Amino acid sequence: MDQIAGIRLDPSGTAAFLAEADLDALAGPVAAVAAELTAGTGPGSGFLGWRDLPEQVEEADFAAIEAEAARIRDLADCCVVVGIGGSYLGARAVLEALGGPAPGAPEILFAGTGLCPATLGRVLDRVAGREPALCVISKSGTTLEPAVAFRLLRAHLEQRYGAGGAARRITAITDARRGALKTMADEEGYPAFVVPDDVGGRFSVLTPVGLVPLAVAGLDIRALVAGARAMRSACLNDDLRANPAHFYAAQRHALYAKGFTIEVLSSFHGGLGQLAEWWKQLFGESEGKQGKGIFPATAVMTTDLHSLGQYLQDGRRCLQETFLTVRRTRGELVVPGQGEGGRDLDGLGYLAGMPLDEINQRAFEGTRRAHVAGGVPCTAFELEEVTPFTIGALLYLFEQAVAVSGRLLGVNPFDQPGVEAYKQEMFRLLGKPGA
């Protein structure tokens, strides 16, 4: 497939497992699902706001977010993003992919991602003695994990700066009209941004949920949205083999029908590890319903070839694998020569002068060949380089793909009824009134 928005899909590692007819048979169903999504109909139709987000972020939106980000940067040397699931995974994925905050921008920390006291304690320890700000993200303000973290962190700020000083250091991203966090923001005067009603958490990275923390980090949110906009245009293509999101969705669905029920997203770029975690939530929460769905797992290569590699090569043959690779990263890093002594004790003389980008690419190619030979169908997404533009494009590609893939399974890709089960049991054990 041709490169689109700096990304190329290579399905060659699935040729031994799928016939052309397998994909041709899905062209009609994919087109029907795509038409439903465009028309705003079908299961979960009230949560399709993400589809047009790249076109709907206007100059006034960018300006408001960038102004708030500048205010926070003037005030703080670290910013704690408080949220769980889709309220933080997208921002964290983009932040890590792009190498962290820009020079001089605040350090970005994350809290409310679980209930481990040691983890939250470390965040509190790291903000002690510094100049912190909080970016709290929740539609309701009552989700247990971020609500507990926010209560502790807010108390820390109020103890240091007083109620008024603390309020200046808190930015809320929440519902437009209702909820505990919305009420608190109104009463305390927190600057606030809106989570759109028609965008679910795991699809919210291109709303203020993702854009505000990334702007605080000094990253180029305009280029991020531009990349998503370019991929959105490509995803309107009716030709299955020219539409990377639809082709990916069809291919993984066809493999699922043949018994490949676990998908491993394997990154050959260490900075894409958190993006893979975002992908894991996106696909797991969207598809895992009614006893159906591909189980999503992740690996970072070549690191995990020394742990999961044995299972990937020789374990149960229910695996399909999708690779994320990057063509150009740090071209100046090359393997040194042997030095003055001329002794090749480590046996790496044959690599002398070779760029690490090229070595990593050969490691990917070798891994793909070995896994295909071992019975694992492999797809690859190759990014020309990691930039805000290409990451924005990749995020949108996966969002469109999971919407199509979920509908092909016959489930609603935009709800998460199973998430409530653990909460009800937990609340009963904690003695929550009415639980």
Non-local CB neighbours of 97 within 8 Å, separated by 6+ positions: 271, 272, 274, 275, 386, 391
Closest Cα to residue 274, out of 9, 19, 94, 125? 94
- As a whole number of angstroms, the distance between CA 66 and CA 215 comes to 6
What the block records as the tokens of 433 is 């009134």
Identify the three-state secondary structure at position 353: coil
Beta bridge partners of 324: 267, 381
CB atoms within 10 A of CB 338: 13
Non-local CB neighbours of 118 within 8 Å, separated by 6+ positions: none
What the block records as the tokens of 243 is 């539409």
Catalytic machinery residues:
285, 306, 423
What the block records as the tokens of 317 is 């043959």
- As a whole number of angstroms, the distance between CA 158 and CA 140 comes to 22
If residue 33 lies in a helix (H) or strand (E), which one and from where to where? helix 20-39
Residue type (1 letter), 35:
A
What the block records as the tokens of 379 is 């797809």
What are the two backbone dihedrals, phi and then psi, of residue 109, each rounded to the nearest 5 degrees? -115, 160
End-to-end CA distance of the chain: 52
